[in-house]
Structure 1
Amino acid sequence: MQNNIFSYHILAKYYDEFQSYSDIESMQNEISESIAQYQQPEIADLGCGTGIFSLALVQQGYKVTALDLSEQMLRVLKAKKAQLPSSFQDNLRIIQADINEYVFPEKQDILLAMTDTLNHLDTEQFVNFFSVAGQNLINDGLLIFDLLKLEYLLGERANQTYFVEFDLPPSDSHYLRNNYGVVDSDELINFDDDIVSDKLFGEQNPAVSMIWENEWLENEQIAISNLTFFERVADSKQYLRFFDQIIEYYHDLENIEQIFCNKFTLKKSIDFPERRLFILQKISDCQ
């Protein structure tokens, strides 16, 4: 997750709850099939986020370098890594860096950029990404990434508002203050009125609720998500309110080959409900 890095300051904590795991599991299978031809490949997961793909590959026995610019996302990934058996932990290296600037000391066999990573790049950054990826890949190495489909952005994400509840244990303000830096007096809200509380949160009084407001800017081909979180303080009727915003850029899936045609060949593309998966191979001797 790259371009608007501070967008994931809050969302990182809940990021995994957003993912469509039916799509992800299918894409993971495609990735595993594609990289099976490589013997002990060097794999880098660019814009790794909380490590959904990195961890899956590590548990298959691969060595992975997970790279992201977001300190908050990597904090979640490091916590997940700590729960792995030590043999798996040794196979996961975590780096905080910009995917459009970082050059690996040794060229990689496989580069991944999954779950909308490249939709966080504007057009100029998107074009530059393929140049940097070419520098970081061996000849005939694979670049695997997904992009959001226009029909998804125009449907589920265009000017739609969703109310989401998370089944997570409630936090206390000290945890959020120490780890996220979001707690000050005007963000701590009392819902002593049960009628107001029930209308907003329902009778279940969930630990975390979120209002997800989407906006589609047609001329700019940009999707904006404004997120308002209410996190219940343990054993109270107080909620912490905090905000996040995600900006994603649509990249024309039909003309994408014009961007990478001199550096990569398209081996395969696969449509999923929300995204299209691309598997590219670096052209030999292309820098």
Structure 2
Amino acid sequence: MAYNEFAYFYDEFNGEADYEALYAHIKKELEAHGIHDGILADLGCGTGELTLMLTQAGYDMIGIDQSEEMLCVVRDKAEQLGLSGGLLLLRQDLLKLDLYGTIRGAVSTFDTFNHIPDLDKAIANAGFFMEKGGVLLFDMNTPYKHQNVLGENVFTFEEEDASCVWRNHYNAADRRVEISVDIDYRETGEHFHEQFYEYTYDLDTIRAALEKHGFALESVCDGESFGPLTDESERYFFCAVKQYTQLEEQ
């Protein structure tokens, strides 16, 4: 899945996201595990809000996304902030992740892993490049959100020169949300249509994938309040620690 035209609506779609609270929680977890600097990867960095906050905090960030349009937005923001160093942007599919060396940790937010049909492979790839003791911090939409919040809902966004309609359909048999995005530009009359999926993963499946690839799941909390999970939590937030390197595994 790659957001293309929708990249330019993404920040508005995420307008209610509390990036400051997310950043504070991630920074706290990193520091609690002794990671105050070094190389971090943002897996599915989107428009780069969190990536750039971590860059400003002194981390050497690798922002990875499959969408060139998303990465263009990150570049523009980085230039405006004067962040020429400490940031590398890569256009890659997380199922084919290929980094140039090891990383101290990785973050993945706003349900990036829900968009991946093979969660096991995505976690394996993140773990392959991570140092022993490295931390994987990520969130995922819960089954409750897929079934009861996204469900059949439609979201509409209006800009001065364009409109965007986001439609959802939950397919219980396939355990996924079918999503379609339609964008219309008023001045040119152009129309763009994108379709993709969010896959539903329960806690047991996520925990098993982490353990299989050398991670110990330290904690799971509500991904919006960062407090305890409830039956109506819409997002999980995970903290997992790499127990051994690939060389030690072999």
- After TM superposition, the score normalised by the length of structure 2 is 0.86
RMSD of equivalent CA atoms: 1.9
Report the alpha carbon displacement of residue 10 of structure 1 after superposing the two structures with TM. 1.2
* Pairing partner for 1:240 from 190, 196, 202: 190
Query: Greater shift after overlay, 250-259 or 46-55?
Result: 250-259
Report the alpha carbon displacement of residue 20 of structure 1 after superposing the two structures with TM. 5.2
Q: Which residues of 2 match residues 29-40 of structure 1 at below 5 A?
A: 29-36=24-31, 37-40=34-37
Whether 2:239 is the aligned partner of 1:279: answer yes
Report the alpha carbon displacement of residue 147 of structure 1 after superposing the two structures with TM. 0.6
Report the alpha carbon displacement of residue 219 of structure 1 after superposing the two structures with TM. 0.5
Cα contact 2:13–2:157 (8 A) shared by 1? no
Alignment-mate amino acid for residue 40 of structure 2: I
| Equivalent residue number for residue 230 of structure 2 | none
20 and 274 in structure 1: CA distance in 2 versus 1, 3 angstrom threshold: farther
1:8-65: CA deviations, max 9, x gaps?
Answer: 1211111111115444432221111011222422111111121121011112222211
Q: Which residues of 2 match residues 253-264 of structure 1 at below 5 A?
A: 253-262=203-212, 263-264=214-215
Alignment-mate amino acid for residue 258 of structure 1: A
Show structure 2 runs of 5+ residues with no match.
225-232
| Equivalent residue number for residue 230 of structure 1 | 184
Greater relative CO, 1 or 2 (CA 8 Å, sep 6+)? 1
157 and 279 in structure 1: CA distance in 2 versus 1, 3 angstrom threshold: same
Larger Rg: 1
| Equivalent residue number for residue 72 of structure 1 | 69
CA distance in 1, matches of 2:245, 2:192: 49
Cα contact 1:214–1:226 (8 A) shared by 2? yes
| Equivalent residue number for residue 217 of structure 1 | 171
What SS does structure 2 have at the residue aligned with 1:118? helix
Query: Greater shift after overlay, 16-25 or 94-103?
Result: 16-25
What SS does structure 2 have at the residue aligned with 1:83? helix
Alignment-mate amino acid for residue 108 of structure 2: A
Report the alpha carbon displacement of residue 105 of structure 1 after superposing the two structures with TM. 2.5
Cα contact 1:99–1:129 (8 A) shared by 2? yes
* Pairing partner for 1:96 from 88, 91, 94: 91
Whether 2:142 is the aligned partner of 1:142: answer no
- Identity score, percent: 26
| Equivalent residue number for residue 11 of structure 1 | 6
Alignment-mate amino acid for residue 20 of structure 2: E
Show structure 1 runs of 5+ residues with no match.
167-205
CA distance in 2, matches of 1:243, 1:284: 43
Cα contact 1:27–1:277 (8 A) shared by 2? no
| Equivalent residue number for residue 44 of structure 2 | 47
Alignment-mate amino acid for residue 170 of structure 2: W
